[in-house]
Amino acid sequence: MKSLYFILFFLSGIQLTAQHTFSIVAVDTLTGEIGSAGASCLDDITFPGSGGAIIISDILPGRGAIHTQSFWLAANQANARQKMEEGLSPEEILLWLKQNDPEGLFGAQKRQFGIVDFDPQGNPRSAAYTGNSCFDWKGHRTGPTYAIQGNILLGPEIVDSMEARYLAATGTLADRLMAALQGANVVGADTRCTNNGTSSLSAFLRVAAPTDEDEQLMLDLNVASLPAGMEPIDSLQTLYNEWKALSVPETAALVFHLCPNPAKDQVMVSVGQPDCRVEIFNTLGKMTFSSRLAQGDNLLQPQMPRGLYWVIIHQPPFHRQSRLLVWEE
């Protein structure tokens, strides 16, 4: 997070006027992963130090993700994160941002926000906002686990295509986020890039596992700038394909079972491999239990309040699997 705060400080006096952006934030209720992806006609050449479109992205592992775009202000980004850390819901954060914009009501009308999170019970929530003064075409789409938003777009078909691709895609959250971006991979999706022959000038893809640190996300890819005429979404796809090829799938050599689920007082964790470790996290990303596991059946009796928890099994050096556990007092 230090790097993000440096960028926010560096750009604190800069308003990235008319930032042309299409983006998506989403959560995966099965893995607890939180994702953020987008593209823009902002790049690191035009605004050195911004990192391109990635400047709009903020992920709080285990909690949620926030995109602040259209006439981007560092203050809005920082305030949104603070309100999420305080426990406000996506709708409450949007309301606060609109009522406390540094430029008042006029400023709020030209902003665009997309927010997702897990509530204290582990349920997904989403919300989005598009001010009336954002440049056309502007708009957003939301579902229980995602928010998609864009401004200065070719038309509503851009966010519609992103939503359709996201919902139709299979695989991991990262796979689905990448599919959503490909739904906007048309010349002039961000209309200012029409003359460049591309959808945008920069693109990013980020996913956090529940146990990640702010500065150490499991996936953090950014195409900050490219030579004229090169498509950032295609370049990002290439980077992502390479990342996948080098990554060890979680399911490659590690399988475990929870029984019963829902559980009360105790739960049996069965693993087929030696040298495993179990960690249990609440939906705010706080570890509530940790223990080494023997191969076979392991009876665990964690002292935890009622709620939803992520049970994560680690086997050195690389393998990891997770399950959602319903814990009843």
Look up residue 65 and give its two tokens.
């993700």
| The pLDDT value given to residue 216 | 85
Q: Is the peptide bond before 124 cis (omega within 30 degrees of 0)?
A: no
| The pLDDT value given to residue 324 | 81
Closest CA to 111 of 155, 73, 63: 73
In tens, the pLDDT along 150-197 reads 999 999 999 999 999 999 998 899 999 999 999 999 999 989 899 999
Q: Enter the pTM of the model.
A: 0.74
Mean pLDDT: which of 13-17, 179-183, 283-287, 308-312 is highest?
179-183
Residue 248: pLDDT over 80: no
Maximal CA-CA distance, the chain = 63
| The pLDDT value given to residue 2 | 38
Q: Which domains does the chain possess?
A: 2-246 (3.60.20.10), 256-328 (2.60.40.3080)
Contact 58, 69 (CB under 8 A): no
Counting beta carbons within 10 angstroms of the beta carbon of residue 309, is it exposed (0 to 12), middle (13 to 18) or buried (19 or more)?
buried
Lowest mean pLDDT among 10-14, 212-216, 221-225: 10-14
In tens, the pLDDT along 35-94 reads 999 999 888 777 776 778 889 999 999 999 999 999 989 899 999 999 999 999 999 999
| The pLDDT value given to residue 13 | 40
Counting beta carbons within 10 angstroms of the beta carbon of residue 49, is it exposed (0 to 12), middle (13 to 18) or buried (19 or more)?
exposed
Alpha-helix residue ranges (DSSP H) falling in the chain: 2-10, 74-85, 90-99, 104-108, 156-168, 173-182, 232-246
Closest CA to 256 of 300, 216, 217, 286: 300
In tens, the pLDDT along 128-145 reads 999 999 999 999 999 999
Look up residue 104 and give its two tokens.
């008042």
Mean pLDDT of the chain: 87
Q: Is the peptide bond before 137 cis (omega within 30 degrees of 0)?
A: yes
At residue 317 the predicted structure's pLDDT band, cuts being 50, 70 and 90, is low
Residue 266: pLDDT over 70: yes
Give the percent of the chain with pLDDT over 70. Answer: 90
- Tell me which DSSP letter residue 274 carries: S
In tens, the pLDDT along 112-131 reads 999 999 999 889 999 999 99
| The pLDDT value given to residue 261 | 87
